[in-house]
Chains A and B, each alone.
Chain A
Amino acid sequence: MPGKLKAKIVAGRHLPVMDRASDLTDAFVEVKFGNTTFKTDVYPKSLNPQWNSGWFKFEVDDEDLQDEPLQITVLDHDTYSANDAIGKVYIDIDPLLCSEAATVISGWLPIYDTIHGIRGEINVLVKVDLFNDLNRFRQSSCGVKFFCTTSIPRCYRAVMVHGFVEELVVNEDPEYQWIDRIRTPRASNEARQRLISLMSGELQRKIGLKVLEMGGNAVVGYLQCFDLEGESGIVVRAIGTACTLEKLTNPPSNAQHTANSSPSKDIRESPAACVSGCRSSHSSPVHGAASRLAQGFSVSYPTLLFSGMGSGGSAGKEAGPLKTLLRQQTQTALEQREFPFFTLSSFPPGFLSHVGGVVSARSVKLLDRIHNPDEPETRDAWWEELRQEIKSHAKALGCHAVVGYSESTSICEEVCILSAAGTAAVLNCRFLQESCQDTLTEHRLSRQLPLFPSGSDKVEFDLGSSASLGCEDLAPPGCGFCHIPYDELNMPFPAQLSYCCCCRRAKVPDVLFTTIDLPTEATITGKGCLIQARLCRLKKKGQGEANATCISSLLPFMEYELHTQLLNKLKLRGMNALFGLRIQISVGENMLVGLASATGVYLSALPSPGGIQIAGKNPGDLSYEQHVSNMQRKINDTITKNRDIYQINPPEVVEEVIGSPIPEPRQRSRLFRSQSESSDELSELDLSHGKKDAFVLEIDDTDAVEDIHCLLTDAPTPPGFFSCNTEIMPGIHNWTSGLQMFTSVRVFRLSNANLTNQGLNKIFNELCENLLKSLYFKLRSMVPCCLCHLNFAVAVPEDELIQVAVTAVAMSFHKDQIQDSNKSGEDRTAMKVITEDQLQFPMELSAETTPAQLLSAAKNSGPSDCSTSGLARAPSVDYSSFADRCSTWIEQLRLRAHTIRRGSIKTTSSLERGSPLPDGRSRSLRSTRSFHGSSVAVVKMTPLSFIPGAKIIKYLGIINMFFIRETTSLREEGGVSGFLHTFIAEVFAMVRAHVAALGGNAVVSYSMKECVFMENPNKNQAQCLINVSGDAVIFTRETDLETSSTQLQAANPQSNEDTPA
Chain B
Amino acid sequence: MSVELEVFVGNNTMMDEDVYQLWLDGYAVNDAVRLRMEAGELRDCDVSTDVVLSDTMDQFRTFQMCEKLLHSPSKLANQLLFQIPPQKQAMMIERYYQFDRPFAREVLGKKLSKGMKKDLDDISSKTGILVKSCRRQFDNFKRVFKVVEELQGPLVDNVQRHFLVSDSLAKDYAAIVFFANSRFETGKRKLQYLSFQDFAFCAGQLISYWTVGAVDKMMEDIDVDLEKEFLHNLKDLKVLINNKDMLDQHKSLVCAQLRGRIKVFSEMDANFKNLSRALVNIAANLTHNKDVRDLFIDLVEKFIEPCKSDKWPVGDLRLFLTHYTSTAHMLETFRYKPIWDRYMGVIKSCVLKMYHD
Contact = CB atoms under 8 A, between A and B. Distances in A.
Given A921-B167, A974-B64, A742 B11 contact: yes
Nearest to B46: A718
A496 to B, nearest CB: 39
Contacts of B85: 938
B2 A932 contact: no
Interface string A744-782: 111111111000000000010000001001110110100
By secondary structure, the A interface counts as: mixed
B21 interface: no
B9 A981 contact: yes
Contacts of B47: 773, 777
A974 B6 CA distance: 12
A14 interface: yes
A43 to B, nearest CB: 19
A283 interface: no
Of B5, B61, B65, chain A has the most CB atoms within 10 Å of the CB of: B5
Of A774, A930, A939, A978, chain B has the most CB atoms within 10 Å of the CB of: A774
A928 B162 contact: yes
B74 A928 contact: yes
A748 B3 contact: yes
A927 B73 CA distance: 13
A741 B61 contact: no
Given A740-B12, A924-B160, A981-B58, A770 B5 contact: no
A941 interface: yes
Contact of B78 (A773, A932, A1013): A932
Interface stretch (B49-57, B226-234, B285-293, B316-324): B49-57
A654 B87 CA distance: 51
A989 interface: yes
- Chain B: interface size category: 35 or more
Contact of B79 (A14, A770, A930, A939): A14
A290 interface: no
B4 A743 contact: no
A992 B90 CA distance: 22
Of B7, B55, B157, chain A has the most CB atoms within 10 Å of the CB of: B7
Interface stretch (A150-158, A171-179, A912-920): A912-920
B8 to A, nearest CB: 4
Given A915-B86, A929-B74, A993 B8 contact: no
Interface in B33-50: 45-48, 50
A935 interface: yes
Contacts of B164: 921, 924-925, 928
B6 to A, nearest CB: 5
A774 B11 contact: no
Contacts of A744: 7-9
Of B46, B83, B87, chain A has the most CB atoms within 10 Å of the CB of: B83
B218 interface: no
A875 B59 CA distance: 57
Interface in B147-174: 157, 160-162, 164, 166-167
B3 A746 contact: yes
Interface in A971-1002: 974, 976-978, 980-982, 984-986, 988-990, 992-993
Contact of B11 (A740, A749, A775, A777): A740
A918 B1 contact: no
Contact of A980 (B7, B13, B75, B83): B7
B160 A984 contact: no
B79 to A, nearest CB: 7
A981 B51 CA distance: 17
B1 A751 contact: yes
B77 A936 contact: yes
B270 interface: no
Of B55, B85, B87, B164, chain A has the most CB atoms within 10 Å of the CB of: B164
Contacts of B1: 748-752, 763
B29 to A, nearest CB: 11
Contact of A749 (B2, B13, B83): B2
Contacts of A777: 45, 47, 51-52, 55
A985 B81 contact: yes
B10 interface: yes
Interface residues of A, number: 66
B13 to A, nearest CB: 8
B82 interface: yes
A594 to B, nearest CB: 19
A986 B167 contact: no
Nearest to A975: B5
A928 B7 CA distance: 33
A778 B347 CA distance: 55
Interface string A723-751: 00000000000000000111111111111
Interface in A529-580: none
B14 interface: yes
A940 B11 contact: yes
Nearest to B162: A928
Given A777-B51, A921-B160, A985-B65, A977 B5 contact: yes
A748 B2 CA distance: 6
B61 A930 contact: no
A110 interface: yes
Contact of A936 (B6, B46, B79, B90): B79
B162 A939 contact: no
Contacts of A928: 74, 77, 161-162, 164
Nearest to A746: B6
Nearest 8 Cβ contacts at the A-B interface: A747-B5, A935-B78, A742-B10, A747-B4, A984-B9, A741-B11, A744-B8, A928-B74
22 contacts: A14-B79, A108-B80, A742-B8, A746-B3, A749-B1, A773-B47, A773-B48, A774-B54, A916-B87, A925-B77, A925-B90, A925-B164, A938-B83, A974-B61, A976-B5, A981-B62, A985-B65, A988-B83, A989-B81, A989-B82, A992-B83, A993-B80
Interface of A: 13-14, 108, 110, 118, 121, 718, 740-752, 763, 770, 773-775, 777-778, 780, 801, 803, 915-918, 920-921, 924-925, 927-930, 932, 934-936, 938-941, 974, 976-978, 980-982, 984-986, 988-990, 992-993, 1013
Interface of B: 1-14, 45-48, 50-52, 54-55, 57-58, 61-62, 64-65, 74-75, 77-83, 85-87, 90, 157, 160-162, 164, 166-167
Given A940-B11, A978-B64, 17 more contacts: A749-B1, A763-B1, A774-B8, A777-B47, A778-B58, A915-B86, A921-B166, A928-B164, A934-B86, A974-B61, A976-B5, A977-B7, A981-B65, A982-B65, A988-B83, A992-B11, A993-B80
